[in-house]
Amino acid sequence: MSIGKIKKTPLRDVWKHEAHDFTKWLVDNIDVINDATGLSLSSVEREQSAGSFNVDLIAEDPEGCRVVIENQLERSDHSHLGQLITYLTVHEASTAIWIVQEARPEHTAAMSWLNKTTDVNFYLLQAEAISIDDSEPALLLTRIIGPSAEIKSASKNQSDRHHIQREFWTTLLERAKKRTKLHSTRSPGNINSLGIGAGISWLNFNYVIASDGWRVELYFNRASKSDNKWFFDQLQKDQAAIENEMCTKLSWLRMDDKKSCRIAIEAPNDGGCKSDLEEWPDIQDRMIQAMIPLHQALASRLEKMPANPPHTIVSEDTPEGF
């Protein structure tokens, strides 16, 4: 039995011009992309306008959603990645396909990240022209990056969690404004904490929410570990008086193995953002009720402290905080 030998031919030897030859050829041979991606694309059109630029190809998937295709018969570069995202946005596409001769590692990583963090399906395909012995050359597309059901499910779960957290902070801020000016200048975010500066750079009074619990805290997060421990120690010297003023015990977490530290009121099983919506007001009231005396007791002492510990040498690299 005789077995032929595969030969690789430079892409530019087969398709001289990217737009006039390669892109035009793909319109008539869209099945090559379908085979590489597992999609069923149809209604392929060339050179559709996207502002000042033209996307190489636009197609439709079986659900009628738009798919943008960007061709690059060279090594991947930042410019084409930016164009792909621009075309995706302008045409409100649900899928983006980038065909390259060679994918740089940083662009492979970028496409993978986009799949993990967005609802869009991103494909990165490597193009090669091959022949067997003296046969006519054929296009071989190899899938380097593509979406997976597991990644998209995880991304959706993360998006759902962010939405819940934003809604929780929105209603907490509305309730807090009726009782205190603390955090009144903050806007709700989509992460698990909401903080304001404590008057010293990178010391913050934070609300923190979990699925089933919460805490309020003074968080020490300066660039210097020794700075954080110094401020913490100054306050802990007054621990008894602080706790007497507040009529409660605090969690004094110096965390010697870490750079940061915190002083907190913790309620790990007192309800959180995954609790039923009708329970949110009571949970938020308890958080606000804990934050007000914590701020009063600690902020008054921080006001008497220097902006930097005695051992600190201030440089241009010292973080400003917020």
Is residue 318 scored above 70 in pLDDT?
Answer: no
Is there a contact between 86 and 51 (Cβ–Cβ < 8 Å)? yes
Ordered domains of the chain (ranges, CATH)? 6-147 (3.40.1350.10), 155-302 (3.30.1460)
Helix axes 105-117, 149-176, angle to 10 degrees: 60
Binned at pLDDT 50, 70 and 90, residue 65 comes out as confident
What pLDDT is stored for residue 301 in this prediction?
A: 97
pLDDT in tens, 121-146: 999 999 999 988 888 899 999 999 99
Task: Give me the residues paired with residue 218 across strands.
Answer: 205, 263
| Helix, strand, coil tally for the chain in percent (to 5) | 40, 25, 35
Is residue 314 scored above 80 in pLDDT?
Answer: no
Q: With pLDDT > 90 as the criterion, what percentage of the chain qualifies?
A: 70
What pLDDT is stored for residue 315 in this prediction?
A: 46
Is residue 316 scored above 60 in pLDDT?
Answer: no
pLDDT in tens, 242-290: 999 999 999 999 999 999 999 999 999 999 998 999 999 999 999 999 9
Q: With pLDDT > 70 as the criterion, what percentage of the chain qualifies?
A: 91
State which amino acid sits at residue 90: V
Among the residues of the chain, which ranges form H helices? 11-14, 24-28, 31-37, 78-90, 105-117, 149-176, 225-236, 239-246, 280-302
Nearest to 271 by CA among 193, 209, 182, 218: 209
Count, residues in the chain: 322
- Taking the model in full, what pTM does it have? 0.54
Binned at pLDDT 50, 70 and 90, residue 320 comes out as very low
What pLDDT is stored for residue 50 in this prediction?
A: 61
pLDDT in tens, 228-243: 999 999 999 999 999 9
pLDDT in tens, 160-201: 677 888 999 999 999 999 999 999 999 988 788 999 999 999
